Each structure stands twice: as structure tokens, then as C-alpha cells.
């Protein structure tokens, strides 16, 4: 069984990696779909985000990473994937993710959404919090891979 794990990954965190690692135990193939999504005004370019996700998941043999633009369900269909994996950290995440899952079901009734929660020690992590902490000079080694921390500091401290 194949699954797609979509997101902007701006940047990827250990919470994301936790879900990818656990998805590899359940599914035969995990496609990490890095969304272009200019409405979120990402800090990193799509190329930088794809590179960071590829580096962070290099040790996972079942994982591929690819950028996509447009509707997630269209991308999933193009890739022959019928299951979307979404991470849920808190009730506030669930409300948004529930709406997205129902919208995707309306657009593509043949594609299912599966929710997973990250490990408790990552349940508070978000890319937004990581970027804010990085901009203030925080040590991020417990939250993101070394390459991501380096790129965050380079990007944020240039400003």
C-alpha cells in the first residue's frame, strides 16, 4: 500500500520525520509531497525544502520526495496513491485537517485520509515555532536535523 504525506515542510522538523518513519512501518511506499503553496509565504524555496526533506529522509528506503503544485488529490491520483497521511498535534490541528479531509473526500471519494499523531515530545512542534526560535538564536538540535538548523540560521541571520 502506498501513502502520500503532503505538507509545505518549511522547514521539516523531527515531528514530520517521526510520522514519516512510522508511516514506513505501515505502508510499502511513502511519497512525501512538498507543496509549492505560495499563499503560506514560505521562508525557503521549493527547491530548498525538497532538498532538506530528501536529506532528512535519506536513510528511509521506502521514501521518495517530490514537489507538487495544485490540488493534492490530483497529485495523488497522478501518482496512483489512494491514501493521504496527515499529522495531527492538537485539537486545533484536527479541526483544520478534518475540514481538509472532507473537502478532499468530496473532490476524490476514492482517496482516503489517515491521521497520525506524532510522539508526545514532538506534539508541540510546528515549522512556525521553529522559525521563530531560530530567528532568536535558539539551539534547535532537539527539534530539527543539523542541516535544517544550519540553513535556518543562514537564512534568518542574513536579514
Question: Which CATH number characterizes residue 84's domain?
Answer: 3.40.50.620
127 catalytically annotated: yes
Please check whether residue 49 is in contact with residue 42, taking contact to mean a CB–CB distance below 8 angstroms.
yes
Q: How many folded domains does the chain comprise? A: 1
H helix or E strand, kind and range, residue 135: helix 127-135
Q: What is the mean pLDDT of residues 88-103?
A: 85
Q: Does some domain include residue 133?
A: no
* Predicted model pTM: 0.93
State pLDDT tens for residues 128-153.
Answer: 889 999 988 889 999 999 999 999 98
Residue 135 known to be catalytic: no
pLDDT tens profile 34-90 = 999 878 789 999 999 999 999 999 999 999 999 999 999 999 999 999 999 999 987
pLDDT of residue 125: 80
- For residue 40, indicate whether it is catalytic: yes
Give the active site residue among 2, 54, 62, 89.
89
Residue 155 inside a domain? The answer is: no
Is there a domain that residue 112 lies in?
Answer: yes
Give me the catalytic one of 49, 127, 131, 151.
127
Amino acid at each position: 500500500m502506498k501513502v502520500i504525506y503532503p505538507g509545505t515542510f518549511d522547514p521539516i522538523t523531527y515531528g514530520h520525520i517521526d510520522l514519516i518513519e512510522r508511516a514506513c512501518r505501515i505502508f510499502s511506499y511513502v511519497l512525501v509531497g512538498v507543496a509549492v503553496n505560495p499563499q503560506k509565504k514560505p521562508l525557503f524555496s521549493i527547491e530548498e525544502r525538497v532538498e532538506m526533506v530528501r536529506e532528512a529522509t535519506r536513510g528511509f528506503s521506502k521514501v521518495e520526495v517530490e514537489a507538487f503544485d495544485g490540488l493534492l488529490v490530483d497529485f495523488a491520483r497522478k501518482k496512483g496513491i489512494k491514501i493521504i497521511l496527515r499529522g495531527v498535534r492538537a485539537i486545533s490541528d484536527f479541526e483544520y485537517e478534518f475540514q481538509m479531509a472532507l473537502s478532499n473526500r468530496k473532490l476524490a471519494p476514492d482517496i482516503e485520509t489517515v491521521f497520525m499523531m506524532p510522539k508526545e515530545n514532538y506534539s508541540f512542534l510546528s515549522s512556525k515555532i521553529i522559525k521563530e526560535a531560530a530567528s532568536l538564536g535558539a539551539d534547535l538540535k532537539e527539534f530539527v536535523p543539523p542541516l535544517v538548523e544550519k540553513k535556518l540560521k543562514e537564512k534568518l541571520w542574513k536579514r
